[in-house]
C-alpha cells in the first residue's frame, strides 16, 4: 500500500530535522571538545526519544502499520549505524585524529552519510517503481553482505587505504600535523593540506559502502521513500554522541557483528520471498507470483530485529564480564605466586 502523507507533515518533518542537524553541526564546530560520558548519554537519550516521538506521530497521521515500518526501519538502520561507528573508531585511531577535534570531523562524516543515503534512496525508489524484480537483486545482495559481515567483520573492510587516498598522498603535499579541523594550513609560508582531508575521504568511502548495505535493507522493511529517509536521519542523529559514549566498548562487543549479519540475512530472505510473491519475471512461473511465498508481517520483522540485537549485545556484555573475571583471577594468581 502506497503511503500518502499530508504535505504539511512531510515538509515540517524535513524542516525540523534540517534545523536539528545544522544546529548539531554548528555546535560541534563552535565547541571543539571531548564531551563527558554523562552529556553524551543525555544527548543519545534525547535523539532516541525524538525517534520514538516521531513514531507516535506517524501512528496518528498514517496508522499503526506505517508507524511499525518506521520503528523497524529505524532500528535496522541504527544497528547498521553502530557498525558504521565501529569503522569510524578504526579510522580515527589509524589517522591519530586528536580527540578534541573528533566531534566536528565525525559530524562531517555523518553529513556525508546522509547525502549519500538520500541519493541511494531516490535511486532505490525509482528502481522499485519501474523494476519490481529488483527485490531479487536486493535480497541476494543482503544475503551476500550478511555472510561477509559474519565472517569478515568491520575492521577488515577498511584494513587498507583506498586508492583515492594513496593517489592523493603521492600527488599532493599533506602535512603530518593536524591544525584543528582545518583542511588546509600554512607550513613554512606554503599552503598545504592537513590529514583532515584524508580522514574525510576515508569516512566518505566508508559511508558509501554502508549506504550500499543499508538502503536495500530498509527497503526490505518499507517501500516508502519518506519512511526510509526519516529512519536513516533518526538513526544517524546522535551518532556523534554515541561515538563518545561507547568509545572503546564498541570494539569489545564481539558478537555485535553476528547480530547485524542475522538481521541482514533475515531481511534478505524477506525480500526474496516478497519478490517471489509478487513475481513478474516471465522466466519464473510464467510471470505469475508464487502463492506459497509468504509476506512476513512488519510485527515479525520488528521482533526479529529487537531480539537479534538484544541477544548480540547481551552475549557480548556477558563475554566482557567473563573475560574481566578471568583476567582478575589471573592477576590475583600472579600476585600470590
The grid coordinates of residue 251 equal 570494539
Q: Let me know: does 295 contact 278? Beta carbons within 8 Å.
A: no
C-alpha–C-alpha distance, residues 139 and 217, integer Å: 8
Q: Phi, psi (5° rounding) for residue 87?
A: -70, -35
First-to-last C-alpha distance (Å) of the chain: 70
List, for residues 129-161, the tens digit of each pLDDT value: 777 778 888 888 888 888 887 887 555 555 455
Residues in the chain: 337
25-34, 111-120, 248-257, 326-335 — most confident range? 111-120
Q: Phi, psi (5° rounding) for residue 193?
A: -85, 150
Report the candidate in 90, 17, 7, 72 with the shortest Cα–Cα distance to residue 50. 17
pLDDT band at 247; cut points 50, 70, 90: low
List, for residues 108-129, the tens digit of each pLDDT value: 888 888 888 888 888 888 887 7
51-60, 201-210, 249-258 — most confident range? 51-60
Q: Let me know: does 79 contact 260? Beta carbons within 8 Å.
A: yes
Overall average pLDDT of the 314-335 stretch: 70
What percent of the chain is predicted at pLDDT more than 70? 86
Whether the pLDDT of residue 52 is over 90: the answer is yes
pLDDT band at 193; cut points 50, 70, 90: confident
How many Cα neighbours within 13 Å face the side chain of 109? Answer: 32
Whether the pLDDT of residue 323 is over 50: the answer is yes
C-alpha–C-alpha distance, residues 247 and 229, integer Å: 27
Indicate the range of 33-42, 134-143, 240-249, 325-334 predicted with least confidence: 325-334
C-alpha–C-alpha distance, residues 76 and 231, integer Å: 9
User: Domain ranges in the chain?
Assistant: 7-336
pLDDT band at 7; cut points 50, 70, 90: confident
Q: Let me know: does 74 contact 233? Beta carbons within 8 Å.
A: no
pTM of the model: 0.77
Q: Let me know: does 240 contact 289? Beta carbons within 8 Å.
A: no
Report the candidate in 4, 1, 229, 10 with the shortest Cα–Cα distance to residue 124. 229
* Average pLDDT along the chain: 79
pLDDT band at 74; cut points 50, 70, 90: very high
Compute the chain's Rg from CA coordinates. 22
**pLDDT value of position 15:** 93
Q: Is residue 253 classed as helix, strand or coil in its secondary structure?
A: coil
**pLDDT value of position 311:** 92
Amino acid at each position: 500500500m502506497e503511503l500518502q502523507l499530508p504535505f504539511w507533515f512531510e515538509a515540517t518533518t524535513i524542516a525540523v530535522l534540517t534545523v536539528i542537524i545544522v544546529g548539531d553541526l554548528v555546535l560541534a564546530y563552535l565547541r571543539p571538545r571531548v564531551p563527558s560520558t554523562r552529556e553524551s548519554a543525555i544527548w543519545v537519550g534525547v535523539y532516541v526519544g525524538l525517534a520514538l516521538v516521531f513514531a507516535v506521530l506517524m501512528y496518528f497521521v498514517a496508522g499503526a502499520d506505517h508507524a511499525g515500518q518506521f520503528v523497524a526501519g529505524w532500528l535496522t538502520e541504527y544497528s547498521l549505524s553502530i557498525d558504521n561507528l565501529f569503522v569510524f573508531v578504526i579510522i580515527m585511531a589509524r589517522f591519530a585524529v586528536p580527540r578534541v577535534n573528533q566531534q566536528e570531523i565525525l559530524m562531517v562524516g555523518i553529513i556525508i552519510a546522509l547525502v549519500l543515503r538520500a541519493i541511494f534512496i531516490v535511486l532505490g525508489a525509482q528502481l522499485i517503481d519501474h523494476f519490481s524484480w529488483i527485490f531479487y537483486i536486493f535480497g541476494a545482495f543482503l544475503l551476500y553482505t550478511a555472510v561477509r559481515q559474519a565472517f569478515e567483520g568491520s575492521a577488515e573492510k577498511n584494513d587498507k587505504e583506498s586508492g583515492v587516498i594513496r593517489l592523493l598522498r603521492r600527488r599532493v603535499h599533506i602535512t603530518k600535523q593536524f591544525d584543528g579541523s582545518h583542511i588546509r594550513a600554512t607550513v613554512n609560508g606554503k599552503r598545504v593540506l592537513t590529514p583532515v582531508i584524508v580522514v574525510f575521504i576515508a569516512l566518505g568511502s566508508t559511508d558509501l559502502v554502508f549506504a550500499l548495505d543499508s538502503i536495500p535493507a530498509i527497503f526490505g522493511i518499507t517501500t516508502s521513500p519518506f519512511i526510509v529517509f526519516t529512519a536513516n536521519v533518526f538513526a544517524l542523529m546522535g551518532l556523534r554522541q554515541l561515538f563518545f559514549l561507547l568509545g572503546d566498548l564498541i570494539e569489545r562487543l564481539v558478537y555485535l557483528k553476528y547480530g547485524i549479519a542475522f538481521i541482514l540475512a533475515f531481511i534478505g530472505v524477506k525480500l526474496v520471498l516478497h519478490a517471489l510473491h509478487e513475481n513478474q519475471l516471465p522466466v519464473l512461473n510464467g510471470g505469475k507470483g508464487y502463492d506459497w511465498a509468504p509476506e512476513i508481517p512488519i510485527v515479525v520483522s520488528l521482533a526479529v530485529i529487537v531480539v537479534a540485537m538484544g541477544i548480540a549485545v547481551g552475549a557480548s556484555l556477558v563475554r566482557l564480564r567473563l573475560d574481566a573475571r578471568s583476567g582478575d583471577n589471573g592477576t590475583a594468581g600472579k600476585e600470590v605466586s
